[in-house]
Amino acid sequence: MHFLDDSLLPENQQKLVIQVAPYGPEWLPGDSDDIPVTMDEQVQKAVDCYNAGAQVLHIHVRELDGHGSKRMSMFNEMMGRLREAVPQMTLQVGGSISFAPENTGEEAKWLDNDTRHLLAELQPRPDQVTIAINTNQMNIVEMMSEDDYAGTSFENPQIYRAYRDMVIPAGPDFYLEHLKRLTANGIQPHFMLATIAQLETVERLIRRGHYTGPLVLNYVGIGGGASGTHPADLLEFARRTPDGAVLTVESIMRSTLPMNTIAIALGLHVRVGIEDNLWSPRKERITSVQQVEQLVRIADELGRDVATPEEAKRLYRIGEHWSTADETLEYLGLPPNRRPGERGVPMRHPAPQGVPALV
């Protein structure tokens, strides 16, 4: 992304999109007072987050026993009820389905590819499904302190190790097929990218025509195989992100608020919710709704307009898809692919050749 002299002025920035993740599949109901369990509670949580100012809902589904659901029937029921309860929200299903271990001592792992591909068949269709690119460590406890998980199930050494050793399986066999199925069913992939190397892989997918649609992505700053919270890394990732992409910043625990404040100031977008963070800056428990309200206040102090749900959908370009790699590169503001025999950096509109020099 390019930052011009006036890029930090709020009137020149995109309206802010707030993504909320209120379901927290890694946590058990006793870990927080803010974990909805019944279907009614899960739907009401979406309504509350919407009323607080969030436009995008990151969805996981929980069974009545408190564990994350892996049943497509539960996801279908949740989607149907959410379409009625919060029809204006962008509904984004978490592509991990549920990585939480069902019993103490089990691994925290993502499900097999065949099961993950079923997210492309949900009815009603979600607007988005998140997708990881390239197999990667996902040690979500690496950046947590003991204070962060005090009083939660993570104090159990077996559960702690399960999340410490978790890996995201996301190689080419998975993501090529998953992108094909999502786009065939009119579902937009929301790319969850942990490093610049993964961003480069996505650009290669676009240049080779494997994905020809809007580029909506999260910068995942949670450590443990993903990026951390060094501001310079975030700035470099933003600099390498195409101008036509939409970039949201995601972090972990009490780093979430300062990272999101930086994002708001830069004109980027934000994610909050108990899936990422349980704590206020002063180490008091904070709900997903309170986190949304907090960012609305900060945006107001910085003069940054908050998008309406309809504006968020237009910014995400929900429902759009393009035909060719060249068209996608043009929309995203990336240089075109190199033509045979072309030297130098390919340009969309090269300067005329052979113009006499001024004397």
User: What DSSP string runs through 90-103?
Assistant: EEEE-TT---S-SS
pLDDT digits (tens, 9 = 90+) for 252-272: 999 999 999 999 999 999 999
The amino acid present at 197, given as its one-letter code, is: A
* Burial (CB count within 10 angstroms: exposed 0-12, middle 13-18, buried 19+), residue 217: buried
Amino acid 356: pLDDT? 66
Residue with tokens 């058990």: 28
pLDDT digits (tens, 9 = 90+) for 39-93: 999 999 999 999 999 999 999 999 999 988 988 999 999 999 999 999 999 999 9
Amino acid 352: pLDDT? 76
Q: Which residues, 6 or more positions from 70, have their beta carbon under 8 angstroms from its beta carbon? A: 97, 98, 111, 115
Distance of CA 323 to the CA centre of its chain: 24
Taking the C-alpha atoms of residue 228 and residue 252, their distance in angstroms, rounded to an integer, is 9
Amino acid 75: pLDDT? 95
pLDDT digits (tens, 9 = 90+) for 108-150: 556 678 889 999 999 999 999 999 999 999 999 999 999 999 9
Tokens matching residue 289: 């709704």
Torsion angle of the four alpha carbons 268, 269, 274, 276, in this order, in degrees rounded to the nearest 10: -40
Amino acid 329: pLDDT? 97
Amino acid 113: pLDDT? 83
The amino acid present at 145, given as its one-letter code, is: S
- Is a pLDDT exceeding 70 seen at residue 106? no
What's the CA angle centered on 162, arms 157 and 116, to 5 degrees? 155
Amino acid 109: pLDDT? 57
Among the listed residues 211, 255, 198, 213, the one whose alpha carbon sits nearest the alpha carbon of residue 231: 255
Among the listed residues 101, 82, 178, 184, the one whose alpha carbon sits nearest the alpha carbon of residue 134: 178
pTM greater than 0.85 (yes/no): yes
Grade residue 351 by pLDDT with cuts at 50, 70 and 90. Answer: confident
Amino acid 138: pLDDT? 94
Percent of the chain with pLDDT over 90: 89
pLDDT digits (tens, 9 = 90+) for 165-209: 999 999 999 999 999 999 999 999 999 999 999 999 999 999 999
Higher local confidence (pLDDT), 296 or 348: 296
pLDDT digits (tens, 9 = 90+) for 210-248: 999 999 999 999 999 999 999 999 999 999 999 999 999
- Average pLDDT over the chain, rounded to whole? 94
Element (H, E) at 233: helix 231-240
- Is a pLDDT exceeding 70 seen at residue 322? yes
* Burial (CB count within 10 angstroms: exposed 0-12, middle 13-18, buried 19+), residue 76: middle
User: If you average pLDDT over residues 282-294, what whole number do you get?
Assistant: 97
Amino acid 108: pLDDT? 57
Element (H, E) at 230: none
Tokens matching residue 135: 């197999």
